[in-house]
Amino acid sequence: MTEPLLVVERMSVAYGKVEAVRGVSLNVPPGSVVTVIGANGAGKTTLLNALMGLLEQTGSIRFENRDLRNARVEDRVAAGLVLVPERRELFGSLTVEDNLRLGSFRHRRHHEIDEELAKVYARFPRLRERQRQLAGTLSGGERQMLALGRALMSRPRLLMLDEPSLGLAPQIVRESFRIIADLHKSGVSILLIEQNARAALAVADYGYVMEHGEIALEGAAGELAENPRVAESYLGLGTTH
């Protein structure tokens, strides 16, 4: 059995006195897509932000057998952990190309950056068309592509996606999930957070259900999708009652 890529044990995060994540443990095996689903306010975003080092946390995080507990954000990025946040967090007053180039800030070697840039443009031809445009002027779908492209520029070992379908039109959402499936095939491991539980479980290998900051349920994605409790709470609409 292969060693998991990411091992999180008993992680907790608190905002002041309010604990938003309580003792969460989870694994991401190499080359897999793992999803965390749950209602708004269940602590999913907090979990990812803490994994990225943006928030103070307790508990242990091991990534490729390295202890990341005390690592700063930039060290985690260098180790290959990359987050595409819910709010995208692009550099609005910089061009699309500058946004992408800054994505590989940690590499710094010119030919490497150009190589990655060519790959990203090949994957998202739309971004090449817009390369001189300021990121702040992009549409919602393009912004999502840019955020994803910028993350790929740093050659992630584990890509963490926070609500990639947020605020996107249905056809773009479908496209996003196609790209996720595509990335998965090319060997990138993915930790996906999604409110759109059905879509998330469809692309994932394994899933966790978060409730009130805790992992309430976990299992293979197919089994979770069948689980009546999950179906009722998170798949909601469209299920037969």
Site residues, another protein (CB under 8 A): 16-18, 20, 39-42, 52, 54, 70, 72-74, 77-78, 82-83, 85, 87-94, 98, 101-103, 105-106, 108, 137, 140, 150, 153-154, 163, 165-170, 173-174, 177, 195-196, 198-199, 202-203, 212, 232-233, 236-238
Minimum CB separation of residue 213 from another protein in Å reads: 9
Q: Which is nearer to another protein, 1 or 237 (CB)?
A: 237
Q: Closest Cα partner for 96 from 57, 59, 139?
A: 139
Give Cα separations from 87 to 45, 77, 137 (angstroms).
11, 18, 15
Minimum CB separation of residue 86 from another protein in Å reads: 8
Q: Which is nearer to another protein, 8 or 163 (CB)?
A: 163
Cα–Cα distance for residue pair 114/124, rounded to 1 Å: 15
How does DSSP classify residue 104? T
Cα–Cα distance for residue pair 35/218, rounded to 1 Å: 10
Minimum CB separation of residue 29 from another protein in Å reads: 23
Cα–Cα distance for residue pair 162/9, rounded to 1 Å: 20
Q: What residue spans of 14-124 are helical by DSSP H?
A: 44-52, 73-79, 96-103, 110-123
Q: Which is nearer to another protein, 4 or 231 (CB)?
A: 231
Record the tokens describing residue 84, joined without a space. Answer: 């595409």
Cα–Cα distance for residue pair 98/132, rounded to 1 Å: 9
Q: Which is nearer to another protein, 10 or 72 (CB)?
A: 72
Q: Which is nearer to another protein, 104 or 189 (CB)?
A: 104
Q: Which is nearer to another protein, 4 or 206 (CB)?
A: 206
Minimum CB separation of residue 176 from another protein in Å reads: 8
Q: Which is nearer to another protein, 7 or 78 (CB)?
A: 78
DSSP 3-state of 207: strand
Cα atoms in the 13 Å half-sphere on the side-chain side of 144 = 20
Minimum CB separation of residue 150 from another protein in Å reads: 6
Minimum CB separation of residue 49 from another protein in Å reads: 9
Cα–Cα distance for residue pair 102/105, rounded to 1 Å: 5
Minimum CB separation of residue 190 from another protein in Å reads: 15
Helix (H) or strand (E) holding 176, with range, is: helix 170-185
